[in-house]
Structure 1
Amino acid sequence: MKTRRIVATAFVAATAVAAVACGSRQASADPADGIVACPVGTRAEQPVVLVHGWQPLSAFGVEGANRSMGELESALRADGRCVYTPDYDSNAGPEKITQQFTDAVHKILQVNRANSVDLVGHSYGALIMRAVSIRFPDGANPVDNVVAVSGPQTAPGRLSGLDPAAKSFIESLNSGPSPVAASVRYTMIATHDDQISVPPDIAFLDAPNVHNVWLQDGCSRDHSGHITELKDPRLIGLVTNVLDPESHATIPCET
């Protein structure tokens, strides 16, 4: 854990309004709204921000969010992690959303007096989390890990028409000396059976501190797709292994 440190436009039909793990709240277009301190007994020193993919605000309500990211959130909370699942309006445009989540991270750190945070995103949320991680200055970056699942990191993906700004946004992120922040550890996860973020390897990046992982590495019989992977024990195992390798040394291979 760092000591001085204060995620394609792929449509995910099952993603929706999320609730902050410290208590549910009404849907908001601003991810920073309603953020309060982590519950007593959770690891407030390093919260996790868990972000769903593309979905217009409030399409399914809180239950919709539980159907999409709920199992991963439950696994993280079972580890004692403090998990924030802010909602956002994916129609707002990637620049605005990135700034909103950057502000939300600042607020999460402030209310918890924390120095670091882990970011986990799926699909469009994976792109946004990567973008947030490079908004902080070198030497003062609070982000320890970014786990980006099936995100459009090098191309907009098949359904780019949902967000006309995505292509130029991705090109801008990738136009510098490095597409990632030097002090952050990145794990980019993709599935060969993705039919939304295509080709699936657009979820990967080339940088020294990036670990690109296929869901099928070591488990060829896993055929989870873009949406079903969120409930896949292997995907959940990969994420928890990155964030807490000592407690999750073994990654399951189930069908």
Structure 2
Amino acid sequence: MTRLPRGRRIAAALVGAAASVGLVLGAAAPAAAQSAQPGSTSSVSPPNTEYGPLPVPFDFRAGVVASLNPEVPPPGANDFHCKPTAENPRPVVMVNPTFTTQAFAWQAGAPFLKNDGFCVFTFNHGNITPFPGMPLQALGDIRQAGQTLSAFVDRVLAETGATEVDLVGHSQGGGVLPDYYLKVLGGADKVHTKVGISPSTQTTLSELVYLRTLIPRLGPAVYGSLENTAPALTQQAQGSDLAREVYPEGAVGIPGVQLYSVYSEYDEAVTPFTRQIYSGEGVTNIHLQDGCAEDLSEHIATMYSERTWLHVRNALAPNRAEPVPCFPVAPFWPGVH
């Protein structure tokens, strides 16, 4: 039997693991869908309809179900006939986080913004497999993902006739990826506002750095294999070549772009959480626990938290911003009461 080179064996193992997770999601999806039905005994709230005609599920399970079809945009997204208005003059491009797709990440955010009159656009990036239907993506080289984002922004501008877009992203999609596009690829000329939800600014999975350092042989081997097969993981670690390129002076403002960071002190992925605080002109940092101790959202929950999206809407349309009320948000599963 022909033995594959070490790098290809690792890649195959990673793809196999990703496929296994996909199967687990597939097994969980019917149960999730069933528990979301009216009359269910689940304690998770049904989709919210107070924000407009499209239901907005502030419920992580909506992403689990949708992740089985990652090429299908979330509700309200990718209507290329949508034209910006005087009230919402810029289309919104949403950038998904590590391990996810457009389908998983934006089942709440896309319809929420669409209901408010925004033209919303989503895409996938960083697929390390040849299968477009892979439910786990955003793992490939972030520099290449920046090129994908650049091309997608250009398409949105051409289709809508707008001169600028706004970017909204979570984790990698709210931090190092759009920041690389803005600072290195010249994207700042095409972007008015960037809203980073739990933005990954060179510390995500920093535990891997400890693994590499403290566990002889095995640590460096695992870290090296990730560098080769899923580079987005190690590129987000503190001190990586990409982190030094994008953040030579830390997370700072970008001339000409309004930057917002929506972050939680309970973040377990971007550590310490203060790394998500940007400095400089044109920067607004929104601490979710400021004046709302009941908000227990952490890195995952912020993607589907209603409070998060109220802050995002205010950032995109500051001329009609409203105070964001305080109410309980559970960690990991924000729709649970």
Q: TM-score range with shorter-chain normalisation?
A: 0.7 to 0.9
The AA in structure 2 aligned to 1:173 is V
Please list, as runs of the form range in 1=range in 2, the aligned pairs for 1:52-131 lying within 5 A after superposition: 52-55=96-99, 62=103, 65=104, 68-89=105-126, 90-127=138-175, 128-131=177-180
Q: Secondary structure at the match of 1:97?
A: helix
Identity fraction in percent: 22
Aligned counterpart for 1:191 among listed residues 264, 274, 278? 264
Q: 1:218 aligns with which of 291, 297, 306?
A: 291
Secondary structure of the corresponding residue to residue 92 of structure 1: coil
**Is the CA contact 1:233–1:252 (under 8 Å) kept in the aligned structure 2?**
no
Q: Quote the offset at 1:110 in angstroms.
A: 1.0
CA distance in 1, matches of 2:79, 2:306: 30
Aligned to 2:198: 150
Change (3 A) 1:193 1:178: closer
Of 198-207 and 142-151, the range deviating more from structure 2? 198-207
Which amino acid counterpart does residue 90 of structure 2 have in structure 1? Q
CA distance in 2, matches of 1:122, 1:177: 19
Equivalent in 81, 89, 95 of residue 51 of structure 1: 95
- Shift in CA distance, 40/113, structure 1 to aligned 2, threshold 3 Å: closer
Letter matched to residue 170 of structure 1: A
Gaps of 5+ in 1: 1-11, 25-34
TM-aligned CA deviation for residue 174 of structure 1? 1.4
Normalised by the length of structure 1, the TM-score is 0.76
How far has the Cα of 1:250 moved from its partner? 1.9
1:52 CA drift (Å): 1.5
Q: Which residue of 1 aligns with 2:135?
A: none
Once the two structures are superposed, residues 36-64 of structure 1 have per-residue CA deviations (whole angstroms, 9 ceiling, x without a partner) of: 7243687884110112210166xxx94xx
User: Partner of 1:28 in structure 2?
Assistant: none
Aligned counterpart, 1:172? 245
Question: Hey, what does 1:247 align to over in structure 2?
Answer: 320
CA distance in 2, matches of 1:195, 1:209: 27
Cα deviation, 1:170-215, whole Å, max 9, x if unaligned, reads 1111126984420000001110111222221221222222212211
Report the residue type matching 2:120 in the other structure: V
- The SS at the match of 1:130 is helix
Contact 1:154 1:203 in 2 (8 A): no
Residue 91 (structure 1) shift: 2.4
* Aligned residue in 1 for 2:80: 37
SS in 1 for 2:123: coil
Question: What number of residue pairs does the alignment pair up?
Answer: 226
User: What is the rounded CA distance, in whole Å, between the counterparts of 2:312 and 2:112 in structure 1?
Assistant: 10
Partners of 1:150 and 1:186 lie apart in 2 by 13
* CA apart distance, 1:134: 2.4
Q: CA RMSD in A?
A: 3.1
Relative to its length, the structure with more strand (as a share) is: 1
- 1:246 to partner: Cα distance: 3.4
Q: Could you say what secondary structure the match of 2:318 adopts?
A: coil
CA deviation digits over 1:79-99, x for unaligned, max 9? 110111111122221111111
Structure 1 counterpart SS, 2:106:
helix
Q: Is the 8 A contact 2:205 2:234 kept in 1?
A: no
Distance 2:98 2:287 in 1: 22
Question: Does the 8 A contact of 1:36 with 1:111 survive in 2?
Answer: no
- 1:21–1:117: structure 2 CA closer, same or farther, 3 Å change rule? farther
Instruction: Answer 1 or 2: which has greater helix percent.
Output: 2
CA 1:18 to 1:211, structure 2 compared with 1: closer, same or farther past 3 Å?
A: farther
Task: Give, in whole Å, the separation in 2 of the partners of 1:85 and 1:170.
Answer: 25
